[in-house]
Amino acid sequence: MIRSIITGTGHYLPKGIIKNNHFFKHKFYDKKGVIIEKSNEEIIKKFQHITEIEERRYLKKNLLNSDIATIAAKRAIKNSKIYKEKIDYIISAHNYGDIHPISFQSDLMPSIAARVKNKLQIKNKKCRPYDMIFGCPGWIEGMILADQLLRSKYAKNILITSSETLSKVIDPHDKNSMIFSDGAGAAVLSGIEVDIEYEGDGIIHYDSQCNNNKELYYLTNGPSLNPNYKKSLVNIKMNGRRIYEYALTEVPNMLKNILDHVNLHLKDIKKILIHQANAKMDYAILKRLLKLYNCTSLNMDFYTKIMPMSIQKFGNSSVATIPTLLDLILQGKMPPHEIKPGDTILMTSLGAGMNINGMIYRFPKEKK
C-alpha cells in the first residue's frame, strides 16, 4: 500500500522585523477615501488586541518570491535526504508570483514552480512544475494534489513550496495591511510502500470547499484607499468582517466532517495547525469546533496547547503560514509545542475565493 509521507520540511523567514510602531506615521484612509480621524496609536492598539500581531517580517527589495521559495525548497530537500533529480513534480503555492521591484506588478510567466526548478538547477525533464493559485489554502491544496499523484503512482517524490511577498502588494494607507507579511515554506512528500501495521501513517484524509459566488470578492485587489497614491494599482483588499463570518460558519463543520469520515474524534488530534490570519478568528473557529463535540467549558490553556500560534511574531504570510509553523515545531523552535512519531495533526486554511481546506496527517510511528 502506498502512503504519502512527509520526508522533509523547510522554511524561510525574512530578517526584516517590522514592529507595530512602524505604522505610527502612516496616514490611514477609510473606504470612502477620507483620512481616518482616530490617532494611529488608537488604531494600532485595537488592531493588536484583535489580531495579537506584534510584528511581522518583510523581505529585502533585492529578493523575489521565487528566491525565498527556492531557499525553503533547498532546506526541505536537504532534510528529506532525497536527491533533487529524483523529484517528479514541483507544486508551488502563491498568489502574486514575483513582484517587479520597480513597477510593483505581478509577474507569473514563467511560473514560480518553473523558476524554482531552474534555481534548484534540476535537470530532470520529467520533473514537472505546477503552480497552485488557491488563496491562502494553496499549500494544503498542493499537498492534496501531490497525494493523489503519489497514490496513483504517477510520482514518487513531490516538492510542494509555498511563498509570498505580501509586503510588496499592500496599500500603506489601509489599516488592514498591517496583517500581512512575507515568508516561505516547503515540504517533500514521498510515496512509500508500507505494510498493514503502518497503513494509517501519512496523509489520512482531506477535503476542500470553494464558495465562489458573493464570497469571491471577500479578498481581492484594488487601488489604494488614498486617491493620490500612485505607486501600485495592485493592492490586496480584504473584507475582514465577511471573512470572519464565513470562517466561523464553514470551517468548523468541514473539519468535523473530515474527522468523522475516518472515524476520528477531536481528542485523537495532538495539534491543530490553522492558518494564522487573525488570532481572534482562530480562537473562535476552535471554539465552534469544540462546541460541535459538546466541549464548551475548556480554558485558554487548552487552546494554546492544541493550537500553536505564530501570528504574534510573523503575521499572516498567506500560503507560507502552515508549512512554516510545521517546520518550526518539527525543528523544536516552537516550545513547548512538539510533534512525536505516531502523533496525528489537523491542518486547515481559508483564503481568497473563498476557498477552505483541511487535512489529517499522522507522523509515522517508529518501526518495531
Residue among 286, 322, 346, 361 at smallest CA distance from 161:
322
Q: Does residue 92 have a pLDDT over 60?
A: yes
Domain's final residue, options 198, 221, 238? 198
Q: Which residue has the cell 538547477?
A: 121
310 in the same domain as 209? yes
pLDDT of residue 368: 53
> Could you tell me if residue 45 is inside a domain?
yes
101 in the same domain as 220? no
Q: What percent of the chain has pLDDT over 70?
A: 97
| 254-259 average pLDDT score | 96
44 in the same domain as 171? yes
> Could you tell me if residue 71 is inside a domain?
yes
Let me know: does 84 contact 135? Beta carbons within 8 Å.
Answer: no
149 in the same domain as 69? yes
42 in the same domain as 109? yes
26 in the same domain as 7? yes
Domain that holds residue 311: 202-362
Task: Kindly give the residue spans of alpha helices, DSSP state H, lying in 193-262.
Answer: 240-261
Q: Residue 302 belongs to a domain with what CATH number?
A: 3.40.47.10
Number of domains in the chain: 2
List residues bridging with 99 in a β-sheet: 106
> Could you tell me if residue 368 is inside a domain?
no
159 in the same domain as 111? yes
71 in the same domain as 12? yes
> Could you tell me if residue 136 is inside a domain?
yes
pLDDT digits (tens, 9 = 90+) for 54-79: 999 999 888 999 999 999 999 999 99
The helix (H) or strand (E) run that includes residue 321 is helix 321-330
> Could you tell me if residue 367 is inside a domain?
no
Cα distances from 227 to residues 30, 222, 231, 328, in angstroms, run 11, 12, 11, 41
Let me know: does 340 contact 19? Beta carbons within 8 Å.
Answer: no
Task: Of 136-145, 195-204, 294-303, give the range with the top mean pLDDT.
Answer: 136-145
299 in the same domain as 182? no
If you ran DSSP here, which 8-state letter would residue 363 be given? Answer: P
| 223-227 average pLDDT score | 90
244 in the same domain as 187? no
> Could you tell me if residue 258 is inside a domain?
yes
Which cell goes with 330?
A: 518539527
Phi, psi of 39 (to 5 degrees): -70, 150
Cα distances from 174 to residues 171, 226, 264, 276, 315, in angstroms, run 5, 8, 42, 19, 16
Q: Is 262 exposed, middle or buried (0-12, 13-18, 19+ CB in 10 A)?
A: exposed
Which residues have C-beta within 8 Å of that of residue 303, sequence separation ≥ 6? 283, 286
pLDDT digits (tens, 9 = 90+) for 113-154: 999 999 999 999 999 999 999 999 999 999 999 999 999 988
> Could you tell me if residue 162 is inside a domain?
yes
224 in the same domain as 154? no
> Could you tell me if residue 273 is inside a domain?
yes
Domain's final residue, options 198, 232, 250? 198
227 in the same domain as 88? no
Q: Which residue has the cell 474524534?
A: 265
| 238-248 average pLDDT score | 91
Please tell me whether the peptide bond between 336 and the residue prior to it is cis, using omega within 30 degrees of 0: yes
Helix 65-80 × helix 321-330 angle, to 10°: 30
Question: What is this structure's pTM?
Answer: 0.92
Domain's final residue, options 198, 221, 246? 198
